[in-house]
Amino acid sequence: MEFTEVIKNRRSIRKYTDQPVTREDLEKIIDLTRFAPSWKNSQTSRFYAILTPELKNQIAEEGTCDFSKNKLNIQSAPALVIQTTVNQIAGYEKDGTFTTSKGTHWQSFDAGIACQTFCLNAYNMGFGTLIMGIFDEEKIRNLISLPENESISALIAIGCPAENPNAPKRKERSEIMQII
Protein backbone atom coordinates (compact mmCIF):
# COMPACT_ATOMS: atom_id res chain seq x y z
CA MET A 1 0.00 0.00 0.00
CA GLU A 2 1.24 3.48 -0.75
CA PHE A 3 2.60 5.33 2.29
CA THR A 4 0.31 8.38 2.02
CA GLU A 5 -2.67 6.07 1.56
CA VAL A 6 -1.79 4.26 4.81
CA ILE A 7 -1.56 7.57 6.69
CA LYS A 8 -4.75 9.03 5.23
CA ASN A 9 -7.03 6.01 5.07
CA ARG A 10 -6.37 4.30 8.39
CA ARG A 11 -9.53 4.74 10.48
CA SER A 12 -10.58 3.81 13.98
CA ILE A 13 -12.62 0.64 13.49
CA ARG A 14 -15.37 -0.26 15.96
CA LYS A 15 -17.05 -3.16 14.11
CA TYR A 16 -15.14 -6.28 13.08
CA THR A 17 -15.85 -9.52 11.19
CA ASP A 18 -15.47 -12.89 12.93
CA GLN A 19 -12.27 -13.63 11.01
CA PRO A 20 -9.58 -14.37 13.61
CA VAL A 21 -6.29 -12.52 14.01
CA THR A 22 -3.54 -15.12 14.33
CA ARG A 23 -0.46 -15.19 16.47
CA GLU A 24 1.57 -14.98 13.22
CA ASP A 25 -0.30 -11.83 12.12
CA LEU A 26 0.49 -10.15 15.44
CA GLU A 27 4.11 -11.27 15.34
CA LYS A 28 4.49 -9.66 11.90
CA ILE A 29 2.97 -6.41 13.12
CA ILE A 30 5.20 -6.33 16.21
CA ASP A 31 8.30 -7.18 14.19
CA LEU A 32 7.84 -3.88 12.32
CA THR A 33 6.65 -1.95 15.35
CA ARG A 34 10.09 -2.59 16.88
CA PHE A 35 11.46 0.00 14.47
CA ALA A 36 9.56 2.86 16.13
CA PRO A 37 11.89 5.51 17.57
CA SER A 38 12.11 5.88 21.34
CA TRP A 39 13.87 7.86 24.06
CA LYS A 40 17.58 6.89 23.85
CA ASN A 41 16.36 3.81 21.99
CA SER A 42 15.01 2.54 25.30
CA GLN A 43 12.12 0.62 23.64
CA THR A 44 9.91 0.51 26.70
CA SER A 45 6.64 -0.51 25.00
CA ARG A 46 5.33 -4.02 25.61
CA PHE A 47 2.38 -5.68 23.85
CA TYR A 48 0.18 -8.32 25.48
CA ALA A 49 -1.99 -9.97 22.83
CA ILE A 50 -5.25 -11.54 23.94
CA LEU A 51 -6.71 -13.98 21.46
CA THR A 52 -8.91 -16.06 23.78
CA PRO A 53 -12.52 -14.83 23.78
CA GLU A 54 -12.95 -15.64 27.50
CA LEU A 55 -10.23 -13.30 28.77
CA LYS A 56 -10.99 -10.66 26.14
CA ASN A 57 -14.65 -10.62 27.11
CA GLN A 58 -13.77 -10.46 30.81
CA ILE A 59 -11.67 -7.38 30.08
CA ALA A 60 -14.59 -5.92 28.09
CA GLU A 61 -16.97 -6.57 31.00
CA GLU A 62 -14.77 -5.60 33.93
CA GLY A 63 -12.03 -3.36 32.52
CA THR A 64 -13.85 -0.56 30.71
CA CYS A 65 -15.02 1.65 33.59
CA ASP A 66 -18.68 1.16 32.61
CA PHE A 67 -17.95 2.98 29.34
CA SER A 68 -20.27 0.74 27.35
CA LYS A 69 -18.94 1.84 23.97
CA ASN A 70 -15.52 0.38 24.71
CA LYS A 71 -17.12 -2.77 26.10
CA LEU A 72 -18.83 -3.24 22.71
CA ASN A 73 -15.69 -2.26 20.80
CA ILE A 74 -13.66 -4.97 22.56
CA GLN A 75 -16.41 -7.57 22.25
CA SER A 76 -16.64 -6.93 18.51
CA ALA A 77 -12.90 -7.36 17.88
CA PRO A 78 -11.42 -10.87 17.52
CA ALA A 79 -8.27 -9.76 19.37
CA LEU A 80 -7.21 -7.19 21.92
CA VAL A 81 -3.69 -5.91 22.48
CA ILE A 82 -2.77 -4.31 25.77
CA GLN A 83 0.11 -1.92 25.23
CA THR A 84 2.14 -1.26 28.34
CA THR A 85 5.22 0.76 29.21
CA VAL A 86 8.12 -0.23 31.45
CA ASN A 87 8.11 2.63 33.97
CA GLN A 88 10.88 5.06 34.90
CA ILE A 89 13.17 4.60 31.90
CA ALA A 90 12.10 6.98 29.11
CA GLY A 91 12.94 10.49 30.28
CA TYR A 92 14.90 9.31 33.31
CA GLU A 93 18.56 9.32 34.28
CA LYS A 94 20.11 6.12 35.66
CA ASP A 95 19.85 7.52 39.21
CA GLY A 96 16.05 7.83 38.85
CA THR A 97 15.92 11.62 38.40
CA PHE A 98 14.22 13.22 35.41
CA THR A 99 16.44 14.24 32.49
CA THR A 100 14.21 17.15 31.48
CA SER A 101 11.69 19.48 33.08
CA LYS A 102 8.95 17.52 31.35
CA GLY A 103 9.14 14.74 33.93
CA THR A 104 7.21 11.59 33.01
CA HIS A 105 6.08 13.03 29.67
CA TRP A 106 8.50 11.01 27.51
CA GLN A 107 7.07 7.67 28.62
CA SER A 108 3.71 8.48 27.09
CA PHE A 109 5.35 10.12 24.11
CA ASP A 110 7.20 6.90 23.25
CA ALA A 111 4.08 4.83 23.84
CA GLY A 112 2.14 7.01 21.39
CA ILE A 113 4.74 6.61 18.67
CA ALA A 114 4.83 2.84 19.14
CA CYS A 115 1.03 2.65 19.22
CA GLN A 116 0.59 4.50 15.95
CA THR A 117 3.38 2.46 14.37
CA PHE A 118 1.49 -0.68 15.40
CA CYS A 119 -1.79 0.64 13.98
CA LEU A 120 -0.28 1.71 10.67
CA ASN A 121 1.47 -1.65 10.25
CA ALA A 122 -1.80 -3.41 11.02
CA TYR A 123 -3.66 -1.27 8.48
CA ASN A 124 -1.01 -1.94 5.84
CA MET A 125 -1.64 -5.67 6.38
CA GLY A 126 -5.41 -5.27 5.93
CA PHE A 127 -6.45 -5.05 9.59
CA GLY A 128 -8.48 -2.40 11.36
CA THR A 129 -7.57 -1.13 14.81
CA LEU A 130 -9.01 1.02 17.58
CA ILE A 131 -6.89 2.74 20.18
CA MET A 132 -8.76 3.00 23.50
CA GLY A 133 -7.79 5.28 26.35
CA ILE A 134 -10.81 4.68 28.59
CA PHE A 135 -10.11 1.57 30.67
CA ASP A 136 -9.72 0.48 34.28
CA GLU A 137 -5.98 0.06 34.72
CA GLU A 138 -6.11 -1.74 38.05
CA LYS A 139 -8.77 -4.24 36.94
CA ILE A 140 -6.87 -5.11 33.76
CA ARG A 141 -3.56 -5.21 35.64
CA ASN A 142 -4.98 -7.93 37.87
CA LEU A 143 -6.67 -9.83 35.03
CA ILE A 144 -3.41 -10.19 33.07
CA SER A 145 -1.04 -10.28 36.08
CA LEU A 146 0.91 -7.31 34.77
CA PRO A 147 4.41 -6.87 36.26
CA GLU A 148 4.58 -4.11 38.90
CA ASN A 149 7.07 -2.03 36.91
CA GLU A 150 4.78 -1.66 33.87
CA SER A 151 1.78 0.59 33.39
CA ILE A 152 -0.93 0.30 30.76
CA SER A 153 -0.59 2.87 27.98
CA ALA A 154 -3.49 1.91 25.72
CA LEU A 155 -5.80 -0.87 24.66
CA ILE A 156 -5.78 -1.66 20.94
CA ALA A 157 -8.63 -3.64 19.39
CA ILE A 158 -7.64 -5.37 16.15
CA GLY A 159 -9.42 -7.41 13.49
CA CYS A 160 -10.80 -7.37 9.96
CA PRO A 161 -13.01 -4.30 9.51
CA ALA A 162 -16.76 -4.79 9.12
CA GLU A 163 -17.29 -1.06 8.53
CA ASN A 164 -15.72 1.63 6.39
CA PRO A 165 -16.20 4.86 8.33
CA ASN A 166 -15.62 8.31 6.87
CA ALA A 167 -12.66 10.23 8.24
CA PRO A 168 -13.69 12.57 11.08
CA LYS A 169 -13.07 16.16 10.04
CA ARG A 170 -9.48 17.32 10.36
CA LYS A 171 -8.40 20.86 11.23
CA GLU A 172 -7.14 22.99 8.38
CA ARG A 173 -3.38 23.29 8.04
CA SER A 174 -3.66 27.01 8.81
CA GLU A 175 -5.16 26.16 12.22
CA ILE A 176 -2.26 23.97 13.29
CA MET A 177 0.79 25.42 11.53
CA GLN A 178 2.58 28.73 11.74
CA ILE A 179 5.85 29.81 10.19
CA ILE A 180 7.57 31.84 12.91
Indicate the SS3 state at residue 105.
Answer: helix
Most distant CA pair in the chain, distance: 54
Dihedral sign of CA atoms 154, 155, 160, 163 in order: negative
CB of 22 to ligand FMN, least distance (A): 24
Please identify, using beta-carbon distances, which residue of 12 and 57 lies nearer to ligand FMN: 12
Please identify, using beta-carbon distances, which residue of 9 and 99 lies nearer to ligand FMN: 9
All residues at 6 or more sequence positions from 124 whose CB lies less than 8 Å from its CB, including other chains: 1, 6
Tell me the residue nearest to ligand FMN as measured from the CB.
Answer: 133
Indicate the SS3 state at residue 135.
Answer: coil
Distance CA 61, CA 67 (A): 10
Please identify, using beta-carbon distances, which residue of 11 and 28 lies nearer to ligand FMN: 11
Distance CA 87, CA 61 (A): 27
**Residues interacting with ligand FMN, by CB under 6 A?**
11-12, 69-70, 73, 130-134, 167-168
Measure the N-to-C terminal CA separation of the chain; round to a whole number of Å.
35
CB of 117 to ligand FMN, least distance (A): 13
Please identify, using beta-carbon distances, which residue of 73 and 84 lies nearer to ligand FMN: 73
CB of 166 to ligand FMN, least distance (A): 9
Please identify, using beta-carbon distances, which residue of 166 and 178 lies nearer to ligand FMN: 166
